[in-house]
């Protein structure tokens, strides 16, 4: 039987219309941008009233020619005094300096007006550069996480689908934007309308913001074990100053011998080797996606000397940190995607 969308979503107290702004530039992902606004448009279709107005903004109100050669007509500019309830900064790459010079004063003005600001994909780093994420918890696309943590220590950066922290939101981008915007529909308009929008978009189960962005290969056979999951969290949180295995076991409420047994049984290696792999994988990400020097990268991953770091890195990746970074940056970046390893 075909489902019927509810047609009378108007509540007795007639909630006011909320203004949503979508900030784009020529490098923005159209995929993410459309997903960001569609739940708000769907909410309007399913109701007898308009819950949301959606504007697409450019610095001066001129159309935006995207990298796909699709011309996007805009409905507003940074010169407007219109106040927004939600501002979505959907950027996939670092924008030009002239773009930021026009964007930053407008963002700060919207923040003073009380707008809820959201950075999408690379957008969170732009909010941070604008000084709007100090003291907040935030996320971004996984390929920018290392640089984010390095450049903005006043922001607690976590890797998950999205984060809503008071009057700020940050989102990893891509399909995660749909989960985020659906959660904001529920926040603004309630669960009944949000569920109707889920049905309209044929997206039954909205993912929680704390869900992971990436899936480790072959992780499912051990992630269900609460001790191993807790041990990996402890190790990840203590990269710069690695903990003794006995301390990790104690924090998990088990003996060192039992910890060793569980790692051997489920992962086929010792907890010490697993910890080293986590640290070296973090070092690789920092080398590729942050501005830290080789020495600073080693220190950030718990290596007390460069020689120790070099030996461990070569043993795992069969190359040196310098060669890996050089080869990665020798590949030109295209407008269609980031460098990925």
pLDDT digits (tens, 9 = 90+) for 25-47: 988 888 899 999 999 999 999 98
Give residue 313's region: left, alpha or beta (phi > 0; psi -120 to 50): alpha
Tens of pLDDT, residue by residue over 146-166, are 888 888 999 999 999 999 999
Res. 8: pLDDT tops 70? no
pLDDT for residue 51: 94
Predicted confidence band of residue 177 (pLDDT cuts 50, 70, 90): very high
Give residue 184's region: left, alpha or beta (phi > 0; psi -120 to 50): alpha
pLDDT for residue 333: 56
pLDDT for residue 78: 95
Please tell me which of 11-15, 105-109, 315-319 the model is most confident about, judged by mean pLDDT. 105-109
pLDDT for residue 1: 37
Tens of pLDDT, residue by residue over 200-217, are 999 988 899 988 887 654
Centre a 10 Å sphere on the Cβ of residue 103 and count the other Cβ atoms it contains. Answer: 20
Q: Are 86 and 18 in contact (CB under 8 A)?
A: yes
**Distance of alpha carbon 43 from alpha carbon 183, whole angstroms:** 12
Tens of pLDDT, residue by residue over 53-109, are 999 999 999 999 887 788 899 999 999 999 999 999 999 888 899 999 999 999 999
Q: How many percent of the chain have pLDDT more than 90?
A: 65
CATH topology for the 220-329 domain: Arc Repressor Mutant, subunit A (1.10.10)
Q: How many percent of the chain have pLDDT more than 70?
A: 90
Mean pLDDT of 236-264: 92
Neighbour order of strands in the sheet with 162-165: 76-77, 52-58, 18-23, 86-91, 116-121, 168-171, 162-165
Rounded to a whole number of angstroms, the CA Rg of the chain reads 23
pLDDT for residue 336: 43
| Residues in contact with 176: Cβ distance below 8 Å, sequence separation at least 6, in sequence order | 161, 162, 207, 213
Domain layout of the chain by residue ranges: 18-200, 220-329
Mean of the per-residue pLDDT values of the chain: 88
Res. 10: pLDDT tops 70? no
Query: How much is the pTM?
Result: 0.73
**Distance of alpha carbon 217 from alpha carbon 202, whole angstroms:** 29
Please tell me which of 206-215, 279-288, 326-335 the model is most confident about, judged by mean pLDDT. 279-288
Architecture of domain 18-200: 3-Layer(aba) Sandwich (3.40)
pLDDT for residue 5: 42
Q: How many CA atoms lie within 13 A of 20 on its CB side?
A: 23
């Amino acid at each position: 039987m075909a489902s019927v969308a509810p047609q009378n979503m108007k509540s007795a107290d007639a909630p006011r219309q909320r203004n949503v702004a979508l900030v784009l530039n020529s490098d923005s992902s159209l995929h993410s941008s459309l997903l960001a606004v569609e739940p708000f448009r769907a909410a309007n279709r399913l109701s007898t009233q308009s819950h949301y107005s959606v504007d697409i903004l450019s610095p001066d109100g001129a159309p935006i020619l995207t990298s796909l050669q699709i011309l996007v007509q805009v409905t507003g500019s940074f010169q407007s005094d219109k106040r927004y309830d939600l501002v979505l900064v959907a950027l996939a790459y670092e924008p030009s300096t002239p773009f930021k010079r026009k964007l930053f004063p407008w963002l700060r003005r919207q923040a003073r007006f009380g707008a809820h600001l959201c950075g999408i994909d690379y957008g969170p780093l732009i909010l941070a550069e604008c000084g709007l994420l100090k003291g907040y918890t935030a996320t971004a696309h996984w390929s920018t996480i290392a640089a984010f943590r390095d450049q903005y220590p006043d922001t607690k950066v976590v890797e998950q689908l999205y984060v809503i922290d008071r009057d700020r939101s940050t989102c990893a981008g891509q399909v995660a934007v749909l989960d985020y915007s659906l959660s904001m529909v529920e926040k603004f308009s309630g669960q009944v309308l949000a569920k109707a929008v889920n049905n309209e978009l044929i997206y039954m189960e909205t993912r929680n913001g704390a869900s992971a962005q990436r899936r480790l290969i072959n992780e499912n056979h051990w992630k269900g074990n609460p001790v191993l999951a807790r041990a990996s969290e402890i190790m990840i949180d203590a990269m710069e100053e690695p903990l003794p295995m006995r301390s990790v076991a104690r924090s998990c409420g088990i003996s060192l011998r039992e910890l060793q047994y569980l790692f051997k049984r489920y992962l086929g290696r010792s907890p010490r080797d697993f910890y080293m792999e986590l640290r070296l994988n973090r070092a690789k990400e920092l080398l590729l996606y942050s501005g830290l020097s080789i020495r600073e990268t080693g220190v950030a991953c718990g290596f007390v000397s460069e020689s120790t770091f070099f030996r461990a890195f070569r043993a795992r990746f069969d190359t040196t940190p310098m060669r890996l970074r050089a080869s990665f940056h020798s590949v030109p970046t295209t407008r269609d995607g980031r460098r990925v390893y």
